Structure formats: structure tokens, C-alpha cells
Structure 1
């Protein structure tokens, strides 16, 4: 079957274009890798105790450099985009596929090169099957050069910053290993999003015009981004559901890292203040690219999701909030993210009573363990 994206070219392009990391000695690099692995395990213990989510046993994070992050994400893209590549590849003439796959390979590589110098870490949710054909549960990856660069740029304590980053990323591992249905739900939504695309020539041309308009809008300082430009109405409904889930998990990660932080990260207030300023900085070109790729939306997700979690925990306790992980039906919608009372009335009903210290149910029961 013809390839829709030349993945080898994507990797080669990304590795060629990515900027080099900060200058560190071999000993400094070895020390940073060892500490990040150790702190990732320490962080998961803090997260599990605070959230009350019974997740898989802790594992050391996979620590990579920028090219390693690019290679890992290409493997993840292959898994996520497989339904679309099968659909497009079977309907596309060979010459069109050959040329198009190289173009998209270069484009994907360029995007990954841009992101590879900015991402501190991530929980890789979609991985290739293992030798037995089983889908791995996921993998926590930390990008050591970016963490070192950020801590130097911010002028913060390296150990504190590294643990703070680990707290956020480990929250995602706890979420997805402690709530097994969450990964399958997200994958099914993404598969549906990709496979309902109408890929006839007329539609593709219209989408290209929409993308062009989005690019022009971004350069004018508007809110247009490529992701929104290529949606059908049916896809928008699915993307709204996916966005709500990602807002929840990202906001939960931000809430946990700051709630746990004061007890284990002495300089957390200084780190958070400086990191927030860093998120809003960057050249105009950098800001345009972030807007086009929907990264500005991701920043809003951190803030909106964190406010949602904080509001629910304040009123219903951690046990009440953990009802969110019961099933897809208890996940908040985008409207409920914006108005936590809507979610509490729908899911908790009369149980939305003030908890005690945000960690126990109103009756003093143990925190809810998601199924």
C-alpha cells in the first residue's frame, strides 16, 4: 500500500533541522539523566498518594535527547494515523502518493523539529505493539536537554525544577494506568475523527483554502489555527470531546504539580512564577507558529483544566473529583469545564458537598479508587 507520509523522511528532516541542545559536559549529562530517572519514580509516589488513584507500579522515565524525542513521536504518529493512512492509501494513485508522502514527510519533520526544542516531557500514550502484538500501556519520556535549558534560562534550582516537571508528567502516567479505559476512549475518538474525513478532490481543495486563510489570520494576530481549519462539522463535535478530555488531564497535571509541590519542591512558587512568564514569551514568529499548531489552545487547557479541578476538589473533595474517572459518561464536556457546577450537578448531584482538606469524602471515607 502506498505511504501517505514518508516517515523515514520525516525523521531525517526533523533530526536535520532541530537545534542543538545546551552545552553540557559528559558528567553533567550523565548526572542529569540519572537524577531525572530517580525523580520520576519519586514523583509518582507523591502523585499516587495525593490523588488517590491506584495506578500501575512506578517505573523509571525514558530520558531522551531532541532527536530521540523526534523518533519516538514518529512511532506514535504511525499508530494514531494508521486508520487514515489505510483509507487514503487505498484510494490514492501511486504517483500522487509518492509525491505527496514526501511533501508531508518534510512538513511533519519540520513541525517535530520546532517542537523538539520546546517539549520538556510527555506521556507517550500510543506506542507500536510489542513483539507479541500487544499494545503497550504507555511510556513516560523526559527530554533532558530541554529541561536543562529551561532551568538555566529561568535561573531556578535544578533539582526542584526537575521534580516539578516530573510531578506533572507522572500525573499523566497515573491517570492513564489507573484509569485503563481512558486510553481506549481517546484512541476510539481519534480514530473516528480521522476516518470520517471526506477526502474527495473538491473537499481537499476547499480545506487547502481554509488552511491558507488560517495562516493569514495567524500572521494578522488572529486566533486561526490549522487544526480548526481542516475540520468537518462532524469532526468538530468529536474534537470538542477530545479537547475536553485533554483539558481535564492537562489541568489535573498542573493542579497536582502545584498542590504537591510545596511539600516536596521548596522553591515551587518561584518556579511557577518564572515558568508562567516563560510560557508567554517568545519571538513573534514563534508565537505565530504556536498559534497555527494549536499550541496556544494547549496553554489555555492548562489554565481552564486546573481551575475546573481546583473548583471541584474545593467543593466535593478529592473523592468527589475522582468520580470523573468512573466512565466516559462522567467526563466533563467543554461547557462543564468552563462551569464546574454543571458537572457537579450532573455527576455528583447532592453529593457535591464540601470535602475535608480536599482529600476525603464528606463522610470521611477513603478517596475513591477509579475502576
Structure 2
């Protein structure tokens, strides 16, 4: 078992990485959460429910008050409609301020369920039980929310979980596109914080289709530690936490412009990183020698190019309403060196020049 701790202003919580832990979810909650819940509300999606919901439910004593709600799988579930439906369900179930919401699923479920927890009765406890590799990033740090048609994750809150319970066995059921989506955030953590971690990934992971659980557990622990260290220093994204958005400014714009779910979040972020790296070289007048990493990503099946025929002008308009942008100025996370990110303002002219070389 691997266990990490995150210290936040709201609370200190544990991240437990343990094979088979989904079958002991109730016991882990009792062990690691100080205030015992009066009832539980498990939010999951239709795909995860068919695989793991019953196993999680069987971990609870028969006399436990447990409600469940299943939403459709995919990014479109992070909507106002689903959010309102979940609040209604929570009220009908008579949840109180000592009830606990459990997010059983990937990043979409974690964001959606966490936002319900953050706003129901002005905030109740919640636990993350991630089922995807991508959620190793989104489940830590307390950023929760939903999408708006004009942009991704623009409606939300900071609400820290009481526990993150990560069972790597659940990841083995993921389709390959979900592995690629999650592994993008792992690579991102290497770029912004630890070049040696990038090298470890290259040396140990040559395919995303055949996993050793010990290697996977080590990958999760090392990547989560990067996120946790940054979150502890900047919980509310007033400074260095913005570095975690490396690749996301353009990535979010691509997701929104194509329509949520057309490409996965991680696949869009890889395109954003591939765009930000040469832009970093130009901005800082540095050579980053990033090409081997791009070759590595292409060998893992990633497309690193901006989708054809997408409008560069529309991408810029999307980027103007990115959370890091303000007063109409676009801000990018760029790398002065690998492991040395900086948040900088980029002019529309510079972006148009770079985009014009990549977009038809």
C-alpha cells in the first residue's frame, strides 16, 4: 500500500493507493475520516456502475444509509442539468450536513460530485474513489465544478476531499483512449516538475496496453506527489498552482471548440503541450530538446497536432475566457527549462503566428 498526505487549509487528508481497496471502501472511510457520516450518497456513471458499484456497496454494513445516483458517462455529464438533478436527489434523500458524498468514477464524476458536495448545504464532506488514470490528477487538490457551453470548468469551487481511495485494479478495465487521456497528465507532471520522472516513464512504460500493477502503483504515487506538493503550496491557484495547467490553455479551447467528448481531455492536453513547447523556446529564446518526448508520445499513439480545419481565430477567442486569462489578455504556462514552468502573457499576434504554422 502507498499512502500520501495532503495538507490544505480546509483539512489534512489521506491518499491511499491499494489494490482491492474498492471492496473495503467503508472500512477505509471509517479509518481515515475523523467525522463519521450519518449517511452516504454515491454518485457514479453508467459504465462504472456496471463494473464496480455493487462491490463498493457490499463493503457497507446492512444498516448503513446509502443512496446512489447514476449519471450518463462522459464529459457532457458536467452540466447544469445533471448538477441540478443531483441536488434534487440529495434533498429527496434527506441528506444532512453530516452526510457524505462519494464520487465513484473518473474525473468527470469527481468534478461533478465534488461540486454538489461543495454547494449542498454550503458544503458537506466527500470522498473520491477514482476509476481512471486521468482522475489521479483531478481527484487531488479540491478543484470541483461543471462546464459551461462557452468554456470548460468555468463554474466551480475549491472543496477538498476527506479521503482519496485509489484502487489500481479498477484501471485495468479502461479502454486505450482513457489510458492515453490519463497518461497525458502524468507526462505533464514530469514536464513541469521533474525531468527524471520523464526519464523514468520512458524507461519503464513502453505501452499503455499491458500494465504491471507495481509499476502502475509507483507511477500513481510519483505523479500524485507532484500534484500534492504544488497544491499544498498554492491551494487556491493564486500562484504556482497555475503551472498544473501546462498544455491546458489550448487543450481546453480545442475541447470546447470541437464539442466536449469529441476528443478526450488528455488527448487535447497533449496537443496543448506540443504547442506550448516550441512557443516556450521562442518566448525564452531557449532550446528545450523536447523532441524525444514528442516521439515517445507519438509511439504511444498520441496525435500531437491541432485538429485540421479548426479555426485559429475561434481558438484564440476560446483562450481569452480561460481561467488564467484576465482583462482580455491570454496567459500561457510555458517552460523556461523542463521542470521550470512560468506563467506568461502571450499576445494574440504571437499566438496567431504559431497557430498559423499548425492550423490549415
Normalised by the length of structure 1, the TM-score is 0.28
Higher relative contact order (CA 8 A, sep 6+): 1
Of structures 1 and 2, the larger Rg is shown by: 1
Which of the two has greater helix per residue? 1
Question: Counting strand residues as a fraction of each chain, which structure ranks higher?
Answer: 2
TM-score by length of 2: 0.28
